Amino acid sequence: MSQLVKIGTRGSKLALWQAYHVEGLLQKAGLSTEIVIIDTKGDQILDVSIAKIGSKGVFTQELEDQLLDGRIDIAVHSAKDLQSNLPEGFEIIAFTEREKENDVLVSHDTSISLKNNIVLGTSSTRRVSTLKHFYPHVKTVDVRGNLQTRIRKMEEGLCDGLLLAYAGAHRMEYDHMIVEELDLNEFTPAVGQGSVAVEAAKKLDLELKIKITSACNNLETSLRLRAERAYLRVLEGGCSIPVFALANLTGDQLSLKGGIVSLDGKERISILVEGNADQPEKLGQELAAKVFAAGGKVILDQIKLTLNK
C-alpha cells in the first residue's frame, strides 16, 4: 500500500485545477492522494483590495496552519501568490513546469484594444501601474474574486475587459475570450506567474518529501523561479507591490529581467542581468542591487509609505 499524500488547496476552480494537476503527477509516480479544500482569508474578504488586507499570507496562512499540525502533507499554490519569504518551518519542495507567462486581455468584445479608451478590471497593482505607464488613457476598476466571478462582473457591465494571467485563462478554458497576449517587455509578469508551487513543512518525512519533489519539480522552471524569487525577497514584495521579473534559461545561462513601477506609473525601472544557471539566487540579488541603485529603492519606499497610510 503506497503512502497517502494529503494535498491542501483553496476551493476555487483554478486552485482545484492546480491541485488535481499535482495529484496527477503524484499518482503517476505511484503515490496515493487525497485533496483537502481549505478556505483562506483572501477567499473570504472580497470587498477589500489585497493591498488593504495586507498581502503577506493572504492566500496561504490557513494552508500553512494545517501543514504545521499535519492535517495536510503539502499545500498547492499558484507560485505568483506565494510570498517571497516563507514563515519559519516551511519550504517550497517543487515548482511544476511553467505555462506561458504572459498577461492577457480577456473580453467578449474582440474589437477592444489597449489603444482604445476602455475600462479594464484587475486587482493587480503591477498591472494597474503598468497600464498607467504605457497606456495612461485606459481606466481600471478593482475586481476581486475567482476567475468566474470576475468574468461575471465584466458581463454585468463593470468593465470592458479583464487583465489576467494567460495560465489562469487557459487552464479555465477561456482561450476563446483572449483578445490579445500582452508584450512581455511591457507587461513583464509577476514573479512565478504560470507555475504551481508545492509547499511543505520542513518536518515532513524526508523520504516522502524526496518522492514528491521527484514527481512534481521541473528543473528549468525551478531555476528560473529561484532567481525571480530571490529578487522579490530582497524587495520584500508581496502581492500589493508593483514589481515584476522574468527569468529565462538558455543552456547553462540564466537571464533575468525585472524591475519596479511607481503606483502612478510615471517611473518604471527595468533591468536585464545574466549569469550562470547554477547560482540563480545570486542573479536575483544582483538584479535587486541594480534596480535599487537605479532609483528603485526610492520608488519602493514611496510605495510602502502610500500603501501603509
Q: Could you say which of 10, 98, 132, 150 is catalytic?
A: 150
Q: Let me know if 159 is a catalytic residue.
A: no
φ and ψ at residue 284, rounded to 5 degrees? -60, -40
Q: Could you say which of 10, 73, 103, 126 is catalytic?
A: 126
Q: Let me know if 233 is a catalytic residue.
A: no
Q: Could you say which of 80, 98, 224, 233 is catalytic?
A: 80
Q: Let me know if 71 is a catalytic residue.
A: no
φ and ψ at residue 251, rounded to 5 degrees? 65, -125
**AA identity, residue 215:** A
Q: Let me know if 80 is a catalytic residue.
A: yes
Q: Looking at the DSSP assignment, which residues form a beta bridge with residue 256?
A: 247, 273
Q: Could you say which of 10, 144, 229, 268 is catalytic?
A: 144
Q: Let me know if 160 is a catalytic residue.
A: no
Q: Could you say which of 209, 224, 233, 239 is catalytic?
A: 239
Q: Let me know if 126 is a catalytic residue.
A: yes
Q: Could you say which of 10, 73, 81, 103 is catalytic?
A: 81
Q: Let me know if 10 is a catalytic residue.
A: no
Q: Could you say which of 127, 132, 229, 257 is catalytic?
A: 127
Residue numbers annotated as active site? 80-81, 126-127, 144, 150, 239
